Structure 1
Amino acid sequence: MHVFTPRGVCSRAIRVELDGDAVSNVEFEGGCSGNLKAIAKVSRGMTVDQIAELWEGNTCGNRKTSCVDQLVCALREAQCTQAG
């Protein structure tokens, strides 16, 4: 499991697991619990590119990022770690 520390959002950590290029598990620590649990469920089985297409660049309020935007960062970081 890869642990990512998001920046500029309410969640304190994002834990992701990849099976190749597909997401097998996502867990958020902190943030809007109900919404983030739903995002985690929807993400399972999707590829990193599919998730990026949906949520990369999404903002929250007046912030320049959001938890789902940070999820894309976490997944890309996990891909690099997995490849290395």
Structure 2
Amino acid sequence: MIEKDFVTRGTCSRMIHVKIDDEGIVRDVQFVKGCSGNTQGVARLAIGRPATEVAETLRGIQCGPRPTSCPDQLAQAIDQALQQNA
């Protein structure tokens, strides 16, 4: 099991905790702060899906004028978790 605490940048959320199992499936996502409904929705949609698929789907999403978003930050958290475990 890979567990990663990722400090976000440029978003309302402050941290993302992600768990990825040994088969590469996202098993848990928890956002600290941020827009509660949106972050809960993103987390629920990610759980049970392949981590690489989630990251590819969410990478590059922007929030208004910001160059990133909570979904984009989740993609970055997953990328880092997978790289650190490689």
Q: TM-score, normalised by structure 1?
A: 0.92
Q: Does 1:74 align with 2:43?
A: no
Q: Write the mapping of 1:36-47 to structure 2, written as runs, cut at 5 A.
A: 36-47=39-50
What is the letter of the counterpart of residue 36 of structure 1?
T
Write the distance in 2 (CA, Å) between the matches of 1:81 and 1:16.
Answer: 13
Equivalent position of 1:3 in the other structure: 5
Q: Which runs of 4+ in 1 moved over 4 A?
A: none
- The alpha carbon displacement at 1:52 in A equals 2.2
Taking only the aligned residue pairs, the percentage that are identical comes to 41
- Structure 2 residue runs of 5 or longer lacking an equivalent are none
Q: Does 1:34 align with 2:37?
A: yes
1:33-74 residue CA offsets vs partner (Å, 9 max, x unmatched): 011111111101111221123211000010000000000000
- Structure 1 window deviating more from structure 2 (4-13 vs 73-82): it is 73-82
- In the comparison of the two structures, how many residue pairs are matched? 83
- Structure 1 residue runs of 5 or longer lacking an equivalent are none
Write the distance in 1 (CA, Å) between the matches of 2:43 and 2:85.
Answer: 20
Q: Larger strand proportion, structure 1 or 2?
A: 2
SS in 1 for 2:30: strand
- Structure 1 window deviating more from structure 2 (5-14 vs 74-83): it is 74-83
Q: TM-score, normalised by structure 2?
A: 0.90
SS in 1 for 2:76: helix
Q: 1:48 to 1:65 in 2, by over 3 A?
A: same
Equivalent position of 1:17 in the other structure: 19
